[in-house]
Structure formats: C-alpha cells, structure tokens
Structure 1
C-alpha cells in the first residue's frame, strides 16, 4: 500500500510534534550535555540578544503574512510564513543550543518581580510555544500536501489563524522575558 502524506496529516503532525517537543525537553533537561561542541563565550552571550531580534522579526513576518492572506495575496503569505518558520527554527536551534550548554538562565531581578511578573510571563510564553508546535506542524503539513486552491477547504485557514495568533503572542512574550532578564535587570 502506497504511503501518502496528504492522507496522514494528523498522524504526521503527532510524530513531528513528539520529536520536536522531545528535542526541546531533552535540551532543557540537559540530556544533550557534553554532546555538543562549545562555542566561545561571546557567542553564547550573544544568543539571547540575537533571539530577541529574531523574535521581533518573526512577529513582523507573521503579522504581515496574516495581512497578506486576508488581502488574497497567497504567494506573499506563503513566502512570509516560510520566512517566519525559518526564523522560528533559527530561534529554537540557538535557544536549545545555549540551554543545552548552560542550562536555563536564572532571573537576575528582585524576587517580587520574579514571582509576580517574570514567572507568569515566562509560563505563558512557554505554554504558548509548546501549544504552537503541533498547530504549526499541522498547518505546515496541510500547506505542503495540498494544492494552494484546495487549502481553503481544509482546516488550514481556521487552525492557521489560531496558530499565528498564539505564535505572535509567544514571540512577543519572549521579547518581554529577554527585556526583563537582560536589559532591565
């Protein structure tokens, strides 16, 4: 029997999401410790700032891509969402690399800000990022396995709106986490 990805999008979404989340949790839990080459300290120190810039660019490309599809500019939407995906992967690779080597960064600010501002923002940011992974895998697989004209007949528009909204919020909150951890405190 011939395997056809278009007929197995939910299952492929599940597999890709488990692999993606496994890599994320593996890095955070230190499972890759000692397996990666260590970059110079200056490079490791620059990753949070680079990731904040990547996040800001991603918010812009997601918003612009969303606006493009609302105006019927399918090709522009597709390009911008592709760029957003590349930015997301770049962010994730850099973040996971740094966390694998150094562990999660401690919050340097006061305990009150940590407890009542930083932790809630971080928790929402992380929760949305985790929720976004299967949603993004799903809309991406639909986009890759269907003709463009047929996408409007799938869950791609509905799930894509939810995914894009949560994705932008997660990126924006990541910038807030960066500002609290590396700029303000």
Structure 2
C-alpha cells in the first residue's frame, strides 16, 4: 500500500484536497446535512475559544518543527509537525461542526472596522488556509511514504518551507480574527 501511495502522491494530494475543500465549502454554504449532529449551545459557544488556543499551540509546534529540522533533529521535527497537523485537523473539525450548525459568524463591530480591517484579514486568513491544504497533504504524504534520508531529494524541504510559512501566517491571522470577533467587539 505504501508503495502505491508513494507512486501517486500528487494524485492522492489532489483527491484529499478536493474532499477537504468540498467539506469546508459545503459546511460554510450550508449544504451539509446537520440533522444528526448533536447540539449543545455551551459547546458551540466554546468552540471559537478552543480553536484560538489550538491555533496558538499550533504556531508554537510549527515554529518548533522548523527549529528542530534546522538543527537536524528529524525525530523532533516530525513529532512537532504531526502534532501541528493533528491540531489543524481538530481545529477544522470543530470549525466545520460549528459553522454547519450556526453558519459563519457575523462581525459585531462597526462597519468601517469590518470593511477595512476584519474582512481583509479574514480573506487573507481563509485564502492561506485553503492554499495550505494541498501543500500540507503533499509534504505529509511525501514524509509518510519515504524514509527520512530520501526526503531531501524530494520536494518535501522546499514545499515544506512554503507550507510552514503560510500555515504560520494563517494561524496567526486566525487569532486576529478571533480577537476581533470575541475580544475587541
């Protein structure tokens, strides 16, 4: 199985990306069936706060992963990046659950702040998150299908640097969005 995946990393990346983005857009646009989902107002209210903490921890993990690979500590790099991806998946699952039930959050602040600060930050955050999905799948699949000494001969280091940088900015902007929605206004 690993050999088959190894030979088809770009195709599998494409399939996983399409499925993931279909779930995201389906949830945001209200196309996912939500009748069977459990509902708890307290839990739904807690999700943005949990996701902000997840984002902050993910920033630390991604930064640590970057630090460790520059020091040649592949084991620590791998652990940090896998933990970061697990947090990303948790974040996404919680976000999709909440947005499927309640829809996207409305900005509670002044229209000028919404127009000139909130919406541009949100647009960049969402765009980077969407761009990161295929990049993350690609580098993870490369890492999962090859022994680490072979990874330097693949696109993993180059694409990984790009993915990590965009991922960091996306998580950081997600925290800014959270602060604007739940702390400032």
- Structure 2 length normalisation: TM-score? 0.97
Counterpart of 1:51?
Answer: 51
Counterpart of 1:109?
Answer: 109
3-state DSSP of counterpart to 1:108? coil
Counterpart of 2:169?
Answer: 169
Segment drifting more, 168-177 vs 33-42: 33-42
**Structure 1 unmatched ranges of 5 or more:** none
C-alpha contact 1:33 1:101 (8 A) present in aligned 2: no
Counterpart of 1:141?
Answer: 141
RMSD of aligned alpha carbons:
1.2
Counterpart of 1:119?
Answer: 119
> Do structure 1's residue 38 and structure 2's residue 43 form an aligned pair?
no
Segment drifting more, 32-41 vs 167-176: 32-41
Counterpart of 2:87?
Answer: 87
1:67-104: per-residue Cα shift (whole Å, max 9, x none)? 00000000000000010011000000000000000000
How many residues in Structure 1 have an aligned counterpart in Structure 2? 184
Q: 1:36 to 1:122 in 2, by over 3 A?
A: farther
Q: Which portions of structure 1, spanning 4 or more consecutive aligned residues, are displaced by more than 2 angstroms?
A: 33-36
- Structure 1 length normalisation: TM-score? 0.97
